[in-house]
């Protein structure tokens, strides 16, 4: 119907996205980088994304019930695969650009994209990131958690705790009409204060309608730089924090697993976040 908003809400344009569009247009005239309309989710899309995120959280909860010393990372993969299918959903990583498993399991000095393996047995003292991504009715949810196996030492515990606080501060900085650089500044400021480094080659991303969408979300940066954050955008915030140097490398034997170059421990936490006028809303835990 004439005069209705482009987002499909059923509301009049003037009562829905007109003011948001006007703010975006004004920001663009000032030379700021702004999202195009494809990055702003419609109400129907958000309903689907929320459901994918709900299931994604349930999958991570299921992993949390069973993860322990003596378990192989391949067992984690089977839990994720079986439980995701039980929920009527699909594991997003499986087959993604040839990725062979349903989840990423990154242990100790593995930064991200660790491939579950029958030969990798979790032992007391390990820290492991379990990164779950879920497709439900064409929509995506994405989150990761750190797990400390058995008795971990203080240095490892501190890294995991500080990285979780980096995530919390990064999410808090994801305010409507702020900037992507605000997120990076919040994350890197805390990490560097504790003597840690931040991985720069990998970061967060838009998500929801696809597994990976624009924009790239850096975890280093300066305030008031980068793309404008607009209500309706859905992004991941997922800082990867190294105990040692920031340099990394990719395992040449599998083309996926990323390691710290100096062999130091690395930790990561991830949420999917909706940008709203009332502050960031965490959709996955």
Q: Which pLDDT tens digit goes with each residue over 207-222?
A: 999 999 999 999 999 9
Give the three-state DSSP class for 91: strand
Give the three-state DSSP class for 236: strand
CB 178 within 8 A of CB 170: no
Q: Give the pLDDT confidence of 8-66 residue by residue, as tens digits.
A: 999 999 999 999 999 999 999 999 999 999 999 999 999 999 999 999 999 999 999 99
Q: Is 129 left (phi over 0), alpha (psi -120 to 50) or beta?
A: beta
Burial zone of 187 (CB within 10 Å; 0-12 exposed, 13-18 middle, 19+ buried): buried
Phi and psi at residue 157, in whole multiples of 5°?
A: -60, -40
What is the per-residue pLDDT for 126? 98
Mean pLDDT of 82-94: 98
Residue 132: strand pairing partners? 143
Q: Are strands 204-206 and 213-217 parallel, antiparallel or unpaired?
A: antiparallel
| Helix orientation angle between 73-86 and 43-66, rounded to the nearest 10 degrees | 140
Count CB neighbours of 150 within 10 A. Answer: 12
Mean pLDDT of 192-199: 98
Q: How far separated are the first and last CA of the chain, in Å rounded? A: 39
Residue in this structure with the two tokens 């344009």, named with its chain if needed: 13
Domain segments of the chain: what residues?
33-282
CB 264 within 8 A of CB 243: yes
The DSSP secondary-structure symbol of 16 reads: T
**Cα separation of 243 and 155, whole Å?**
9
Q: Read off the tokens for 91.
A: 């594991």
Give the three-state DSSP class for 18: helix
Q: Give the pLDDT confidence of 106-133 residue by residue, as tens digits.
A: 999 999 999 999 999 999 999 999 999 9
Count, residues in the chain: 285
What is the per-residue pLDDT for 103? 98
Give the three-state DSSP class for 22: helix
* pTM for the whole structure: 0.96
What is the per-residue pLDDT for 161? 98
Q: Give the pLDDT confidence of 52-81 residue by residue, as tens digits.
A: 999 999 999 999 999 999 999 999 999 999
Tell me: pLDDT of 2 over 80.
Answer: no
Q: Give the pLDDT confidence of 229-274 residue by residue, as tens digits.
A: 999 999 999 999 999 999 999 999 999 999 999 999 999 999 999 9
CATH number of 33-282: 3.90.230.10
Buried-exposed string 253-266: b where 16+ CB fall within 10 A, e elsewhere: eeebbbbbeeebbb
What average pLDDT is seen over the chain?
97
- Model confidence at 1, pLDDT cuts 50, 70, 90, reads low
């Amino acid at each position: 119907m004439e005069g209705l908003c482009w987002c499909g809400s059923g509301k009049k344009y003037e009562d829905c996205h007109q003011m948001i569009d006007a703010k975006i247009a004004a920001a663009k005239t000032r030379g700021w980088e702004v999202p195009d309309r494809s990055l702003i989710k419609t109400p129907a899309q958000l309903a689907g994304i929320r459901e994918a995120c709900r299931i994604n959280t349930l999958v991570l909860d299921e992993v949390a019930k069973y993860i322990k010393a003596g378990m192989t990372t391949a067992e984690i993969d089977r839990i994720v695969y079986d439980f995701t299918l039980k929920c009527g959903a699909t594991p997003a990583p499986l087959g993604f650009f040839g990725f062979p498993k349903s989840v990423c399991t990154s242990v100790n000095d593995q930064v991200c994209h660790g491939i579950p393996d029958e030969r990798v047995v979790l032992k007391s003292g390990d820290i492991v990131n379990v990164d779950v991504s879920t497709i439900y009715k064409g929509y995506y949810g994405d989150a990761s958690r750190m797990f400390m196996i058995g008795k971990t030492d203080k240095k490892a515990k501190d890294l995991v705790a500080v990285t979780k606080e980096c995530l919390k501060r990064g999410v808090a900085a994801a305010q409507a009409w702020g900037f992507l650089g605000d997120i990076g500044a919040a994350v890197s400021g805390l990490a560097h204060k504790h003597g840690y480094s931040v991985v720069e080659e990998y970061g967060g991303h838009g998500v929801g309608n696809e597994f990976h969408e624009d924009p790239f979300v850096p975890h280093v940066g300066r305030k008031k730089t980068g793309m404008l954050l607009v209500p309706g955008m859905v992004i991941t915030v997922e800082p990867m924090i190294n105990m040692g140097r920031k340099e990394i490398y990719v395992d040449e034997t599998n083309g996926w697993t990323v390691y710290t170059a100096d062999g130091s421990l690395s930790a990561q936490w991830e949420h999917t976040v909706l940008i709203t006028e009332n502050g960031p809303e965490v959709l996955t835990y």
